Amino acid sequence: MTDHFYEFFESVNYASEDQVREYRSIYLSYVKPLIDFVERPLAFDFGCGRGEWLDMLRRLGFETKGVDIDQGMLNSAQKKGLDVALGNGSEFLKNLPDQSVAVLSAFHVLEHLPFDKIIEFFKESQRVLIPGGVLIAETPNPENLFVITSNFYLDHTHIRPIPILQMINLARYFGYKKYSIIRLQENKDLYKKEDITFKDIFYGVSKDYGIIAQKPGGVEGLVEAIDHPLRYETGIGIDDLIKRLDQRIDNLVKKVDELSLKKDI
């Protein structure tokens, strides 16, 4: 019975294909410019699952390859006619030729790996990416207190969350000078909400985040073409909500003090 538990877990907790396509669409602006600068650019997805992202890139004009350890998920990717394989992503990555990949992605994979394998992933990314190539890695956001204290551990294959600063440090250590952090799947109402509550801090921060980094170099004009989206950030961080809650509390304290003074008079 336990042999099929993870398959059952995915069936009740994994987002629908339409939802995944919607979530992934935010990354398209980071990779579209490659089409104009690289002949037959290859996109490799580490942990490709059902292949939604690879299918999106194929429609843009990318050559695509993927690997996953879950045959049940791969069945959907194979039905799409995608070039995907069953296997260990880390080992598959090691066998890719140097400077052969234009886009290397890993969506909700790194949190399943021990830290030495995460280090290996970033190291190999610099080897396999072409100059000017793009790295994308998405993971649950530890700033979201509900995610980190509850949802993260629903998946028993998760090892540990990856703080945003640690992801940035990994990218910088392995030579990525241009990168962006985008926070994802936040409560959009919070952008305009003024009366922030403790509930908002616990639940409202972006649930996931992604790092997008560009390998130095590339043909003339490629770095500049991706420069604009790499300065673009989205989402809601916990620091922002805490500052806004502090401000609200300060305002309430001032009002109470003002009312007390009036009462004394």
- Six-digit token string for 20: 């995944």
Q: Closest by alpha carbon to 50, among 87, 13, 78?
A: 78
> Rounded to 5 degrees, what are φ and ψ at 181?
-110, 125
Q: Which fold, 2-264? A: Rossmann fold (3.40.50)
Task: Read off the pLDDT of residues 148-178 as tens digits, 9 standing for 90 and up.
Answer: 998 898 888 999 999 999 999 999 999 998 9
Confidence of residue 7 (pLDDT cuts 50, 70, 90): low
The yes-or-no verdict on residue 208 having pLDDT over 90 is yes
User: What is the overall mean pLDDT for the chain?
Assistant: 91
Q: Give the rounded percent of residues in the chain with a pLDDT score beyond 70.
A: 94
> H or E element: which one contains 28?
helix 28-37
User: What pTM was estimated for this model as a whole?
Assistant: 0.91
Chain centre distance of CA 123 = 18
For residues 93 and 87, give the distance between their C-alpha atoms in angstroms, rounded to a whole number. Answer: 10
For residues 209 and 165, give the distance between their C-alpha atoms in angstroms, rounded to a whole number. Answer: 12
DSSP 212-240: EEE-S--STTHHHHHHTGGG---S--HHH
Confidence of residue 13 (pLDDT cuts 50, 70, 90): low
The bridge status of strand 129-140 relative to strand 208-214 is antiparallel
- Which residues, other chains included, contact 254 with Cβ-Cβ below 8 Å and sequence gap of 6+? none
For residues 215 and 245, give the distance between their C-alpha atoms in angstroms, rounded to a whole number. Answer: 39
The SS3 of residue 29 is helix
Whole-number CA gyration radius for the chain? 21
DSSP 35-55: HHHSSS-EEEEET-TT-HHHH
